[in-house]
Structure 1
Amino acid sequence: MSMDRKREQLMQNWVRTQLNDSKMVITPLTGDASFRSYLRAKSQDKSFIIMNAPPEKEDIGPWITIARRMRNASLNTPEIFSEDRKNGFILMSDLGDTTYLDALNADTVDVLYRDAISALFGMQQRCKADDLPVYDEVRLRTEMNLFPEWFLERHLGLKIRASERMIIERVFEKLVASALEQPQAFVHRDYHSRNLMRRDRENPGILDFQDAVRGPITYDLVSLLRDCYIEWPADKVLAWVNQYRDRLTKAGVIGDRELRFKRWFDWMGLQRHIKVLGIFARLNYRDGKPGYLKDLPRVLGYVLQVAGKNKDLGPFAEWLVDKTADIDLTQPREEA
């Protein structure tokens, strides 16, 4: 999001004071799905990142708290050099321009995911979660309710009948139960290729962690391996899942040869992807950010892949296939 002139001048003056450099150069960076924006400051051959988070829109306090917690756990998050909580500015280290999404291909994926999976395991093992918001039933359902409101009704233009709501509700009940029966740990909530930075040392750099919660052990794993922005063959994903399960078993987090782990993983992904269908539609219609519509077919594919192979979820999959057939999900729908 763009800054008004007054706020831009306020930020520039603050950064100049922090860096003690009147000749620094500030350039904007691509924004994300939030109200925050980021800029790069070049000063005396050094590079810094500025976070601009208007205080009436976002509180930078959680970002600062989680950033320091993760750095103290030997994870590569930005180092905070200065903060202005009143005005919503942070001056931090620069983790570069190369996201995992930019760097991932068939030749690099194994090494990059090895590092990301190792960092995830360390995050779950070393980051305190007891004082974080809990990923409870209310939070899980609030997220999934974006699906009927924004994807089904607004994007597809459906009028959902009572019988159809019952089909959806039965799925929601199963997904909530599966999430809550898992071991609970530190959850990043957006651990995927756009928030991981490829680094030559201490790979990966980790961003966008401010919404961390205490939640299901498989949540971040499925965010990474069934990424909304890039897809990998099912056999590769299964191998990574089994490797992670073995790590958790050796660490005593889950029981020996935990047979439920794959179902936990699949159903956690289904909860996340149902939510994301609603979020991506909302980003277009409410927030004027149409760029996420192009990823809807991939996300829907994940939903149908999991729901379609489980007899308990089959009616939902069949219904959703029927409602999305012959529709170009990447195109916005005009209101009648």
Structure 2
Amino acid sequence: MSHPPHSPSDPAAITRLPSDAFSPPQVDWPDAARKQAFESWLAGLSGPQGLKPGTLRPASADASFRRYLRIDANEGSRIIMDAPPERENCAPFVKVGGLMAQAGLLVPQILAWDEPQGFMLLDDLGTQTMMEVIQLQDEQANHAMYMQAVDALITWQLGSRPDVLPPYDEALLARELALFPDWYLAQHRGVTLEGEARKTLDQAFAKIIARNLAQPCV
């Protein structure tokens, strides 16, 4: 009876694997002081929260100066928000999350928050988004997910109260639209719009804002 050159139990086969074969992607820091502050904060949480610092890895980022990291725990994984306080204010995130939870929506629970330093430990709701599980060729299979999304929007709307959140006014719309040229084009594509191209975009934005403001507020 023949055997493969190296069976799974062969130590020689295992030791030939690269030493970093299963290492998570490296997390980069803008400066040594920020890294040291984070490591000190994480060390204080690792025991009480059952965290495994060696598993820290990037999770995602958004159109802001904050980013999200993922770390394994004794049970499942957790999300860490890194939001430098001189650039990001986490208070609105905490407030809106609380309002959504009160309305009955599923939101990450805040497990720890160092407000002065801008570090936050959160529940991990998973790695898949709705768009990633949509089956483009099977509309029937997607129906339940779309209805779930609609139900969540209705639940959030029914839980809304006047004068709790700032109005979606012209200034806020303009800031949201500016993410396209400022973050996507400039930051991610390395493109700066000038001249007629910028003028055309500004005109389009003005029409979008006008049409949105003409709609009833809900």
Q: Aligning the two structures, in what range does the TM-score lie when normalised by the shorter sequence? A: 0.5 to 0.7
Deviations 1:24-68 (A, max 9, x none): 234222332322122223232342211111111211111111111
Aligned amino acid, residue 128 of structure 1: R
Q: Are the equivalent residues in 1 in contact too, given 2:181–2:192 (CA < 8 A)?
A: no
Q: TM-score, normalised by structure 1?
A: 0.46
* 1:135 aligned residue (134, 146, 168): 168
Higher relative contact order (CA 8 A, sep 6+): 1
Distance 1:122 1:111 in 2: 16
Specify every segment of 5 or more residues in structure 2 that has no aligned partner in the other structure, as ranges: 1-26
* 2:36 aligned residue (9, 13, 16): 9
> Does 1:89 find its partner at 2:89?
no
Q: Taking structure 1 as reference, are residues 81 and 30 closer, same or farther at Cα in structure 2, changes over 3 Å only?
A: closer
Deviation at 1:77, TM superposition (A): 0.8
Distance 2:110 2:146 in 1: 26
Q: Are the equivalent residues in 1 in contact too, given 2:51–2:71 (CA < 8 A)?
A: no
Distance 2:178 2:81 in 1: 30
Q: How does 1:1-336 map to 2 (within 5 A)?
A: 2-3=28-29, 4-21=31-48, 24-25=52-53, 26-33=55-62, 34-106=64-136, 107=138, 108-128=141-161, 130-144=163-177, 155=191, 159-160=195-196, 165=199, 169=203, 174-185=207-218
Q: Are the equivalent residues in 2 in contact too, given 1:16–1:24 (CA < 8 A)?
A: no
Q: Taking structure 1 as reference, are residues 20 and 135 closer, same or farther at Cα in structure 2, changes over 3 Å only?
A: same
Distance 2:194 2:166 in 1: 34
User: Which residue number corresponds to residue 5 of structure 2?
Assistant: none
Count, aligned residues? 180
SS at 1:20 equivalent: helix
Q: Taking structure 1 as reference, are residues 16 and 168 closer, same or farther at Cα in structure 2, changes over 3 Å only?
A: closer
SS at 2:212 equivalent: helix
Deviation at 1:9, TM superposition (A): 3.4
SS at 1:29 equivalent: strand
Aligned amino acid, residue 15 of structure 1: L
Q: Are the equivalent residues in 1 in contact too, given 2:71–2:80 (CA < 8 A)?
A: yes
Distance 1:7 1:86 in 2: 12
Distance 1:117 1:71 in 2: 17
Q: Percent identity?
A: 31
Q: TM-score, normalised by structure 2?
A: 0.67
Aligned amino acid, residue 61 of structure 1: A
Distance 1:47 1:183 in 2: 42
Distance 2:108 2:84 in 1: 20
Distance 1:39 1:9 in 2: 16
Q: Taking structure 1 as reference, are residues 122 and 157 closer, same or farther at Cα in structure 2, changes over 3 Å only?
A: closer
Deviation at 1:136, TM superposition (A): 1.6
SS at 2:195 equivalent: coil
Distance 1:118 1:125 in 2: 10
SS at 1:160 equivalent: helix
User: Which residue number corresponds to residue 192 of structure 1?
Assistant: none
Q: Are the equivalent residues in 2 in contact too, given 1:51–1:89 (CA < 8 A)?
A: yes
Aligned amino acid, residue 28 of structure 2: S
Distance 1:166 1:36 in 2: 31
Aligned amino acid, residue 87 of structure 2: K
